[in-house]
Structure 1
């Protein structure tokens, strides 16, 4: 039966009576503390009194949170001291703690593009300074159990994938207009953004980002080309830049970064300290422009580069370069030119080559000539590096640290001959180089030596005396065969 508008709602009047509600809650609390004594009829005694002293109980006491006495600033300071690995479970305490967690978050990897476009990202995490949009830019099934992982990116794929170059084809990535719109929303919501990673953006997207985020210092651009780099000049405070153009088998993209893009980059980002060029084309002119314009550049990384022949001498224009890295490069420079035109990097301290094909002696010799002032050389899992090729490194007279890992073609003789030429060498690290035998090596002049050259010999040495290294019948003595069951 419904109540007329003139008649008061009895239930609402009863709920407004706080004293009555507190009395009910108090009675419930008393019953919960009452000892359960059975009467003769087998029923619980309601009139029995609790043995403990009950304080005044109200609705406020029932739902009170002792941390509510602390301000957000104090509680944030306390929660920030907790290790990150333990924060996820702690923030399940209450909605307030959940909101405080969002204020503590500074870095996030976006998986859902709609979460950015709707603005919920900034409501949930208002103080972000590092945003990774790479996975959010990809169109991939969320419920798929198939995960494709590469050092550049990792994401889910469906079972209907086919073909060779399917990874980041156009149908697997949001178009440039959608990416640009997301960057505009991000720029308005995160004006203090310092680090960003994004795929398939355009010049206009970078311009809108640069206008609203003057503190942007680190940028990672996937599927980049010369046209995109036109918008990077507006990022006046950019210090770390990673440009990823073509990646064989992963980024099937018609455009690429050439000398035009490298020159635009050099003229617009004069405060660069670290630069990585992955899958980029170019030549002597592009690297020369970077060396001349980016006077603060200290670290240069070339990953799977597509540089034209003769680009290597341009490294001498990087006068303040301290670290030079080559990662997964199929070649260095097939025609570097004459040695007298090489020049050198006077401030270079470290030269790192990892997973590179070093099969051209002239190319490797030219590289060591440009890096002859280097203090540290790291060679890791490089193919084709034998004693003859390795001997070209003897030109680096000031070398103090050498690390070799996975260089199976280098022998003890080749290593010793090179070490003798380095009078200032202090530290040597040899790991998993199977043709370098520890029983043959004598390096008494070194101050620091880390020696794990031959995994097979190390295993046999550890099994000495146990008999486990013996084969077949040699494991048993001849007389022991008669004592075996069934012999």
Structure 2
């Protein structure tokens, strides 16, 4: 009935709480609900489980305020990478009751009530001008307050919180024993804190130790011993004091490990060998370790039969033996990335194509000895391929994409960068065989790609949503016209350093594609009329691509 608040009169608190819990991952929706009335504000605060805190003037105080407001929070993400110039970030993640901008001080103070007002005034009093206010980092005191106030904490992310030490981490470990995910990227914590996590947090599943320069083998070994039965995901990068010794402990104790990411010049074959033998459930392996050789991947191919993702970066000691072992043993492999692996040849891709027929994602980046025949094998034997990225592969020619177009009808994304041997014929074959293509990125392929390719894409790929054209010197307005005539679902179009694309071509794209959300182009190619018509979706080139 008109004039009656039926929702608040009929719906019990329990039902509203259930609805709000389902919106927890959508912060803007939660914020909107909290503005409905005081009752909804109270219920929303009581049900919010996830809070994200960006760079701020006083994160310790923000953490204490967060604990007071959101009693049910169990997922906390703190990221101090972003620079700040004011006591509050431009958009404060805690939601209702915080100012949108710190520069409008008088307006903000009127809106803020209670404890948040006291916090705002306290931070403001540290300096009369914004330039006098120095940014602070989360300290052990703030982390201790979080630990004591959020005993049900399950996920904690501390990104580049450089003032946090083992003291604060130990408080988390001792108070938050249900912790399942811990991200310490860029934190200078020591071995004592990590050992405490291993001792207390027996449910820990996910651990990120990227750029944790204060850790040594002792800390990771204690963690592996304590959390060996639960740990499933481990990432280690740029930790100079973590070597094969602690990786052997991981392989010996973490038998449930599913994902391992290593970026280190101090890890050699022995550690990876122990992990391969001791972690049969391993599904994802990412390696950027210049001192690891074929011996390690031979073990992976032998023991890790559940492997689904393999990423190898900057391996100058790997040869075709490694990929042959993977092809022979890892039949479930669906995702393969090869970057700057100079000694891999077509034989490697042939082995993958023969053994890993369920491959869905393939990226070949800067592997200069891989050419046409290797990719032809992929096209013939991997019909499930959905994404293909060829970057700086100058030995791969048109025939390779001919086989992909003929055999990989499920392909949805194609990325080409600096592939000078690929031309119109290759793209035409893709267009004729891959009618599900949604994303096409072509950068620096210069003189071989032109309007014929775009016309074929327009005719053959009606589902295309995203196209990037950079340094394509033979493409003209005519090709763009053919493309947009049929690709009516296009949402994003980047066309830069294409000298024969003019303002008329840009206008054609804008006027023909009603679903466009973003167009990137040189500013001088946009007419006043196009700017008036589609100013909200236009973006202008400011750096080289």
Q: Same fold (TM over 0.5)?
A: yes
Q: Is the 8 A contact 2:235 2:261 kept in 1?
A: yes
Secondary structure of the residue aligned to 1:307 is: coil
- What is the alpha-carbon distance in structure 2 between the residues aligned to residue 276 and residue 207 of structure 1? 21
- Structure 2 partner of 1:96: 148
- Structure 2 partner of 1:238: 282
Relative to structure 1, the CA distance from residue 439 to residue 88 in structure 2 (aligned partners, 3 Å threshold; closer, same or farther) is farther
- What is the alpha-carbon distance in structure 2 between the residues aligned to residue 189 and residue 126 of structure 1? 7
Q: Is the 8 A contact 1:426 1:448 kept in 2?
A: yes
- Residues 367-398 of structure 1, C-alpha deviation per residue, up to 9 Å, x if partnerless? 76367522326444612447x53533544453
- Structure 2 partner of 1:324: 361
- Structure 1 partner of 2:211: 135
Secondary structure of the residue aligned to 2:311 is: strand
- What is the alpha-carbon distance in structure 2 between the residues aligned to residue 462 and residue 314 of structure 1? 49
- What is the alpha-carbon distance in structure 1 between the residues aligned to residue 279 and residue 528 of structure 2? 63
- Residues 123-272 of structure 1: matches in 2 within 5 Å? 127-136=203-212, 138=213, 178-179=216-217, 181-191=218-228, 192-199=230-237, 203-223=244-264, 224-232=267-275, 233-246=277-290, 255-258=291-294, 260-272=295-307
TM-score scaled to structure 1, two decimals?
Answer: 0.58
Q: Is the 8 A contact 1:274 1:300 kept in 2?
A: yes
Q: CA deviation at 1:426?
A: 3.7
Q: Is the 8 A contact 1:345 1:371 kept in 2?
A: no
Relative to structure 1, the CA distance from residue 270 to residue 390 in structure 2 (aligned partners, 3 Å threshold; closer, same or farther) is farther
Q: CA deviation at 1:326?
A: 2.1
- What is the alpha-carbon distance in structure 2 between the residues aligned to residue 338 and residue 84 of structure 1? 45
- Residues 329-340 of structure 1: matches in 2 within 5 Å? 329-331=366-368, 333-334=370-371, 336=373
Q: Is the 8 A contact 1:412 1:437 kept in 2?
A: yes
- Structure 1 partner of 2:130: none
Q: CA deviation at 1:305?
A: 1.9
Q: CA deviation at 1:218?
A: 0.8
Q: Is the 8 A contact 1:437 1:453 kept in 2?
A: no
- Residues 285-324 of structure 1: matches in 2 within 5 Å? 285-311=321-347, 312-324=349-361
Q: CA deviation at 1:336?
A: 4.3
- Structure 1 partner of 2:190: 114
Relative to structure 1, the CA distance from residue 347 to residue 182 in structure 2 (aligned partners, 3 Å threshold; closer, same or farther) is farther
Structure 1 position 373 matched with structure 2 position 407: yes
Relative to structure 1, the CA distance from residue 411 to residue 89 in structure 2 (aligned partners, 3 Å threshold; closer, same or farther) is farther
Let me know the Cα RMSD of the aligned residues.
3.9
- What is the alpha-carbon distance in structure 1 between the residues aligned to residue 369 and residue 438 of structure 2? 20
Q: Name which of structure 1's ranges 375-384 and 260-269 shifts more when overlaid on structure 2.
A: 375-384
Secondary structure of the residue aligned to 2:301 is: helix
2:383 to 318, 331, 347: 347
- Residues 3-46 of structure 1, C-alpha deviation per residue, up to 9 Å, x if partnerless? xxxxxxxxxxxxxxxxxxxxxxxxxxxxxxxxxxxxxxxxxxxx
- What is the alpha-carbon distance in structure 1 between the residues aligned to residue 373 and residue 471 of structure 2? 32
Q: Is the 8 A contact 1:117 1:185 kept in 2?
A: no
Q: CA deviation at 1:313?
A: 1.9
- Structure 2 partner of 1:401: 437
Q: Is the 8 A contact 1:204 1:231 kept in 2?
A: no
Q: What number of residue pairs does the alignment pair up?
A: 339
- What is the alpha-carbon distance in structure 1 between the residues aligned to residue 299 and residue 401 of structure 2? 26
Relative to structure 1, the CA distance from residue 186 to residue 453 in structure 2 (aligned partners, 3 Å threshold; closer, same or farther) is closer
Q: CA deviation at 1:463?
A: 2.8
Say which structure is richer in helix.
Answer: 2
- Residues 443-458 of structure 1: matches in 2 within 5 Å? 443=483, 444-446=485-487, 448-450=489-491, 452-455=493-496, 457=503, 458=506
- Residues 455-470 of structure 1: matches in 2 within 5 Å? 455=496, 457=503, 458=506, 459=523, 462-465=526-529
Q: Is the 8 A contact 1:381 1:405 kept in 2?
A: yes
2:50 to 77, 83, 86: 83
- What is the alpha-carbon distance in structure 2 between the residues aligned to residue 395 and residue 377 of structure 1? 14
Q: CA deviation at 1:264?
A: 1.1
Structure 2 spans left out of the alignment, 5+ residues: 1-43, 54-61, 69-144, 154-171, 497-501, 507-522, 533-545
Return the index of the structure with the highest Cα Rg.
1
- Residues 130-153 of structure 1, C-alpha deviation per residue, up to 9 Å, x if partnerless? 1122312x36xxxxxxxxxxxxxx
Secondary structure of the residue aligned to 1:297 is: coil
TM-score scaled to structure 2, two decimals?
Answer: 0.53
- Residues 275-321 of structure 1, C-alpha deviation per residue, up to 9 Å, x if partnerless? 11112243443222212211211111112222333323222223343
Secondary structure of the residue aligned to 1:119 is: helix
- Residues 108-141 of structure 1, C-alpha deviation per residue, up to 9 Å, x if partnerless? 21523524467344578664321122312x36xx
Q: CA deviation at 1:230?
A: 1.3
- What is the alpha-carbon distance in structure 2 between the residues aligned to residue 120 and residue 112 of structure 1? 15
